[in-house]
Structure 1
Amino acid sequence: MSAPVWQPLPTGEFTGIDWSAPGAINGQDPYLAWAEADHFAGYRRGPGKKPPKWLPIVIELSSQADVPALVAASSTAWLQIPRVYLNVPGLRFCSARVKPRFFDKLRSDDHLRSLIQRFELGLPVEPHTHALIDPCTPTSQPAPAHGLLGGKVLGLIDGGLALANSAFLDQHGRTRIQHFWRQDAYQNGNWPGNQPRHREPLDPARAGPTPHDMGYGHELSGTAIDAAMAAYTRHGQVDEDALYQHLQLWDLSMPVNHGTHVMSLACGPGNPLHPMHDDASRADLVAVQLDWSNVLDTSGGAMNVSVLDGLMYILARCAPSAKVVVNISWGTLAGPHDGSSILEAAMDQLIALYGGRLQIAVPAGNAYQSRTHVNATLQPDQTLPLHWRVQPDDRTQSFLEIWLPDGAQDVKICVTPPGQTEPLPQRCMGQSGVWTGDGSDPLCGLIYPTSSALGSRGTCVLLALEPTFSRKRSAATAPFGAWQVTLINTGSTDITLDAYIERDDVAIGQNTGARQSYFEDAHYDTSGNIGSFVDHADDPTPIRRSGTFNSLSTGQNTVSVGGIRRHASPSGYFALYSPRKPDPDASRPQRPGVKKVPDTLQVSDDNVALWGVRAAGSRSGSTARLVGTSSSAPQEARALLNAL
């Protein structure tokens, strides 16, 4: 068997960037480089298929720039920004859809380049790869402020929102959801249990018109929801099945939906044994239903555009005097974990600009026992081997991010794929490549820039793998088994680093074929004995539960919420899957700014034996039990709203 070798990254078919050129990867989004290396195969495209017409991205502008300045320096022929981003003066973040000409202009136009600090790839799948309706132009003005919600308003960004559920009605039987925006655009969507083979647009007469300030998706007003409910009321009872069929919300045929469960915890009336009569149970609601493609992509790596757009939609439907609390019960495992991702920085700035009138609750994460995090300090000449166990029959891509602090330019990385007797050649900072095995298509990619668009401190090394199984004979598949990733400190100072395996599990109701990969180490305690579910300072293993944290939740101004048990002894107080407060491994060295501890705690399990909490099912009167800090966050959102 010949020694494996790295091949150079190709020139991007969409961006035109020669990713193998010296310095080309520096400051860029490594996921964009990988997407172009494998022809967007991770987004259900691949070799032989045309690239997207438009790419969705999220942009952070330079410190002296704002959205109107970017609009003035560009053309809607190759950069389109939703009009909603004109509503907040001083905002330095926006989403956009771009054509290849955008990247040409970045290379040739110094002024445009000076406005953009960094950008990240969004989710390049339907319907997010088409032009926006009515995007920003230099003459565009903020939307007129009329009919906006005042007082206390609860916003929710999630999937599967049963808008006619009695938990979201007022005392007169009218909906409290005053604005509902769904981000999908097709009848045959990626909702649970469905495998679309053709694309037919939603009917705006049923699903609602496209909101012009967003440029995509469909919107229903509270009046429209009430009218539809009245049309499908039989003998004083709403026929919810028929209503959702009419509104083309077929995903709500599922008896349990994550968004409905979460929303009822945030603002529902409780249950007969524990009724809740508080401000949250009476508040106006603004709901954003994520495109199911976002929910399908449980890595969450491309949620940035959808979540930021959702936040802007909620704020645009509220009056300047409104006090808004938004719950986002979703997240990722990888990322910088220091609040410097673009989405986290955008949320932090929005909260600051709103001066106390906006609060955002986010879950701390459910992966405490998942073995997806390594923390280690490499001394000079020290070598750290990581064993990354990638599972068979995994029909989704897998990602490993290694985060290095500033000054770590002497760390080298060596990768040995399963089944190979020799490693691939060492890579150092500024180098990248793809490994094709015995074929022509990439099986994995290693991207090691000097700086990364994914965070503002240090850099991120991305190791990306193709699925280990596919039903398509032509698809490239990576070998499963233990990938050995060896880190070598060739410098003269200690280097503290973190490695995070990205989330790759299956969302409720889905059948994606995802299988979560994990780290292996002989010293990691998997015995299940008392005391084995937390880290101890003298544990020799680099795999750490502490620091396994939702990377959407490490911002400075958002409120992260961990999970606890309602009825438990002091030793069983914490949900086993949740980060803890205080951190039991607090003495361990960390990269600057890393967040490992939730800001607060709420119940996510009833007791040691009965995990999860009960809340609304999809149909009125039904209940379901779901597990996770996704249930903790909305309870904190409720408390925040009541305290306003």
Structure 2
Amino acid sequence: MGPAMGLTWTRVPPPAFARLGQEGWPLADYLLREVEGPLTLHQQRDHARRCAALRALMESSLRPRVAHQSLRRFDNVLAQLPRLAPKRALVPEDAPPGPDAACLEPMAHPADPDQAAIIGVIDHAIPFAHPLLTTATGHSRVAAVWMMDGPARDRRPDIPFGQELRGTMIDALRRAGDEDAPYRACGLLDPGGDMALARAASHGAAVATIAAGQAPGDPAGRAHPVIGVSLPRFALADTSGSLGALFIKAAVIFVISRARMLAREMSQRAGRRVRPPLVVNLSLGVTGGAQDGSGMIARLQDAIAGAVQPDLGPVHFVLPTGNACQDRLNGQLQAGEWIHWQILPDDPTPSAIEIWAPPGGQIPRLSLRPPGGEDLPIPLEKPGMVRLADRQGPEVARAVLQHRGQNSGYCLTLIVPPTLPSAQGEPWAPAGLWSLTLSEGSASPCRLAIGRDDRLPGTGGRGRQSRLVEAGYDARDVSGRWQGADPVPPGTIIRRNGTVNSYATGRLQIRVGSTMAHPAGAVAHWSGLLADGAAGDVTAPSERSASLAGMAVPGMRGAGLGRLSGTSLSAPQMTRWLAARLAAGQRFDGRADLATHRGSGDTVVHDLGLPDLPWRSGLGG
């Protein structure tokens, strides 16, 4: 089943809204297909087995309370997997048990376990057999990888779908002169599958090699074993994150589980207890969601980073600030104000905007006006869902009111159906300028956050991004240059401050913004900004200059290079930098401490400068 299935506007009964819990992104309930009639006995057995596998993974890595909450939120998606995932990724009941393989061959283990740091990478289409992820002896440095939408070949007690490979298994599949042999042997290049690894390049290839790639002859590579999770395409095709966040959560838990397994293996070889540090890179992001650290990804990563992990040293999570600074997806609306919301034509996906009331328990009160229509007040007095219809009767939008997170106030989400319906009779919305008006006397100021709805290359997504439109807003200054942080006072409803990736709003996550190599340290105009206008906790160059975007990054195979751009490439530079320092024995107490260790006594955002990579990045010179 292709990713388009998860992008269809469907009529879902109101009770479905509650199943993802208070923190659930409401759009997920509209994207998930309902099971037609009761589950068959076979479907019930499969569902119970997947839940048991996920429970085993979570309980082996997390505290019981966190594990229980994680499983409860993931349960609905597990139930829908037969409708979302390719059939080949679902572990059949009669699959043989998976081998209890070692993580790494002896020659691939760190030469000195006390001078090592594990690198975790969560992305899509990670080429785990890439030469830059091998040692001088040709052994894999990838200790474990979970290909979530890969064909299931065996059954493991803690893998509910997809395929896991360990380093020793990857080595056994290699064939001289054939880089694709491991992928072919695993069925990842079979016709009818995702075929992401058959492409010349991928987002995951760039991120993984920047974070952990080393020339095979460089002995430093052995100090950094790699654990990867390749997320399923169907979860990333919907860039709003409504489904992806749940798979990311499972990926984080897998990385912790296998890092602990590798640490125990290292301890056994050393004949003493070894607790290597771990740096996890997540170069993905969304624009909707809580900005106070109460989202599910931020809370999970903060809980892991803030606790002592069995078998592991310090755990750090590195995320990009995002690329949405100039996309007009963020704003602050006062009571009595209104703003246009432009929804594009020929969009086969829903569009969504969140209205976040300030903490304090007041419900935001507003009305929505379709193009050429009349104001439609939103009659929600308590959490729930309501359908909005015009005088002619057709449904034009749905509104969902939630009290989301721990620190946030009420969030009202408006979801508008596609402007290009998938079939005759399906709900559709007119393209053009819609209007949002915050009523006089309503809770304010309210934060506006439009959900991401663009197209991620290689995933088959088909969305067209909506945006805010305000007559007095200028994206460029009088000289024609892009504007950076908001002035004080801002003077407009649309804001650039606060455009940070919503996954990266935790207390302990390291947030990385993008800069240009020329002039050195100049912040890229699209790089997401924190609430105070800062470019991140750290910045790193991902662009050569304002006139030449991007940097050279490895493709799927050998010496092939491509060119990519964005904060997704800045974050793994920080991951690489931090892993090297941790392996050398340095320790970091928090974000502010990072600036000190880079040679500064203040907390001003510093740029890492040109990266030291085993290929020519195209940033220097």
TM (norm. structure 2) is 0.75
- Deviation, structure 1 residue 296: 0.9
- Deviation, structure 1 residue 501: 0.3
Corresponding residue number in structure 2 for 1:505: 454
> What are the superposed Cα offsets for residues 27-68 of structure 1, whole Å, 9 maximum, x if unpaired?
735645x665xxx4x24x47x9569889xxxxxxxxxxxxxx
Change (3 A) 1:215 1:97: farther
User: Secondary structure of 1:533's match?
Assistant: coil
Matched, 1:402 2:355: yes
- Deviation, structure 1 residue 513: 2.2
- Deviation, structure 1 residue 229: 1.3
- After the TM superposition, which residues 236-251 of structure 1 pair with which residues of structure 2 at under 5 Å, given as runs? 237-240=177-180, 243-249=182-188, 250-251=195-196
Matched, 1:621 2:559: yes
Change (3 A) 1:430 1:311: closer
- After the TM superposition, which residues 145-164 of structure 1 pair with which residues of structure 2 at under 5 Å, given as runs? 151-164=116-129
RMSD of aligned alpha carbons:
3.7
Corresponding residue number in structure 2 for 1:550: 501
Greater helix share, 1 or 2? 2
Change (3 A) 1:214 1:299: same
- Deviation, structure 1 residue 279: 4.1
- After the TM superposition, which residues 258-273 of structure 1 pair with which residues of structure 2 at under 5 Å, given as runs? 258-269=203-214
The range that moved more, 510-519 or 440-449, is 440-449
Corresponding residue number in structure 2 for 1:369: 326
Paired letter, 2:364:
V
- Deviation, structure 1 residue 180: 1.4
Matched, 1:297 2:270: no
Corresponding residue number in structure 2 for 1:345: 299
> What are the superposed Cα offsets for residues 545-566 of structure 1, whole Å, 9 maximum, x if unpaired?
1111100101111111111111
Matched, 1:411 2:367: no
Structure 1 unmatched ranges of 5 or more: 1-7, 55-74, 99-115, 136-143, 186-201, 585-595
Paired letter, 2:507:
Q
- Deviation, structure 1 residue 455: 5.2
User: Does the aligned pair in 1 maintain the 2:353–2:450 contact within 8 Å?
Assistant: yes
The match for 2:252 among 292, 308, 311 is 311
Distance 1:556 1:419 in 2: 44
Paired letter, 2:257:
A
> What are the superposed Cα offsets for residues 244-291 of structure 1, whole Å, 9 maximum, x if unpaired?
333222211111100001111111137xxxx99584575211111001
Greater strand share, 1 or 2? 1
Distance 2:12 2:256 in 1: 41
Matched, 1:82 2:55: yes
- Deviation, structure 1 residue 456: 3.6
Change (3 A) 1:432 1:520: same
> What are the superposed Cα offsets for residues 134-166 of structure 1, whole Å, 9 maximum, x if unpaired?
99xxxxxxxx99868864211111001112221
Structure 2 unmatched ranges of 5 or more: 1-10, 42-46, 94-99, 189-194, 265-274, 583-621
Distance 1:543 1:224 in 2: 52
Change (3 A) 1:173 1:79: closer
> What are the superposed Cα offsets for residues 570-594 of structure 1, whole Å, 9 maximum, x if unpaired?
7xx011111358945xxxxxxxxxx
The match for 1:229 among 159, 174, 178 is 174
Corresponding residue number in structure 2 for 1:94: 67
Matched, 1:598 2:536: yes
Change (3 A) 1:367 1:547: same
User: Does the aligned pair in 2 maintain the 1:414–1:427 contact within 8 Å?
Assistant: no
User: Secondary structure of 2:567's match?
Assistant: coil
TM (norm. structure 1) is 0.73
Distance 2:562 2:179 in 1: 20
User: Does the aligned pair in 1 maintain the 2:378–2:399 contact within 8 Å?
Assistant: no
Distance 1:474 1:280 in 2: 57
Distance 2:124 2:320 in 1: 15
The range that moved more, 633-642 or 164-173, is 164-173
Matched, 1:632 2:570: yes
Change (3 A) 1:276 1:411: farther
Distance 2:49 2:456 in 1: 37
Corresponding residue number in structure 2 for 1:496: 445
User: Does the aligned pair in 1 maintain the 2:102–2:168 contact within 8 Å?
Assistant: no
Distance 2:572 2:303 in 1: 22
Corresponding residue number in structure 2 for 1:285: 226
User: Secondary structure of 2:174's match?
Assistant: helix
User: Does the aligned pair in 2 maintain the 1:178–1:286 contact within 8 Å?
Assistant: yes
User: Secondary structure of 1:383's match?
Assistant: coil
Paired letter, 1:389:
Q
Corresponding residue number in structure 2 for 1:112: none
Distance 2:40 2:550 in 1: 43
Change (3 A) 1:221 1:145: closer
User: Does the aligned pair in 2 maintain the 1:30–1:447 contact within 8 Å?
Assistant: no
Paired letter, 2:579:
L
Corresponding residue number in structure 1 for 2:22: 28
Distance 1:295 1:391 in 2: 21
Matched, 1:359 2:316: yes
- After the TM superposition, which residues 458-607 of structure 1 pair with which residues of structure 2 at under 5 Å, given as runs? 458-490=409-441, 495-527=444-476, 529-530=479-480, 532-534=482-484, 535-568=486-519, 573-580=522-529, 583-584=532-533, 598-607=536-545
Change (3 A) 1:78 1:211: closer
Paired letter, 1:296:
A
User: Does the aligned pair in 1 maintain the 2:342–2:433 contact within 8 Å?
Assistant: yes
Distance 2:231 2:155 in 1: 15
Change (3 A) 1:410 1:289: closer
Paired letter, 1:92:
R
Corresponding residue number in structure 1 for 2:374: 421
Paired letter, 2:183:
Y
Paired letter, 1:268:
G
Change (3 A) 1:599 1:171: same
> What are the superposed Cα offsets for residues 220-239 of structure 1, whole Å, 9 maximum, x if unpaired?
12122112112xx2xxx224
Paired letter, 2:483:
F
User: Secondary structure of 1:578's match?
Assistant: coil
User: Does the aligned pair in 2 maintain the 1:373–1:548 contact within 8 Å?
Assistant: yes
Paired letter, 1:482:
L
- Deviation, structure 1 residue 427: 4.4
- Deviation, structure 1 residue 477: 1.5
Corresponding residue number in structure 2 for 1:326: 280
- After the TM superposition, which residues 82-231 of structure 1 pair with which residues of structure 2 at under 5 Å, given as runs? 82-88=55-61, 90=63, 92-94=65-67, 122=77, 124-126=80-82, 151-185=116-150, 202=151, 204=153, 209-230=154-175
User: Secondary structure of 1:602's match?
Assistant: strand
> What are the superposed Cα offsets for residues 376-428 of structure 1, whole Å, 9 maximum, x if unpaired?
4x3xxx41212111111111111111111222526311111223134345545
User: Secondary structure of 1:330's match?
Assistant: coil
- Deviation, structure 1 residue 375: 2.0
Tell me how many residue pairs correspond in the alignment: 525
Paired letter, 1:221:
R
Matched, 1:393 2:350: no
Distance 1:181 1:119 in 2: 17
User: Does the aligned pair in 2 maintain the 1:327–1:361 contact within 8 Å?
Assistant: yes
Aligned identity (percent) is 27
User: Does the aligned pair in 1 maintain the 2:355–2:447 contact within 8 Å?
Assistant: yes
Corresponding residue number in structure 2 for 1:195: none
Corresponding residue number in structure 1 for 2:290: 336
User: Secondary structure of 2:376's match?
Assistant: coil
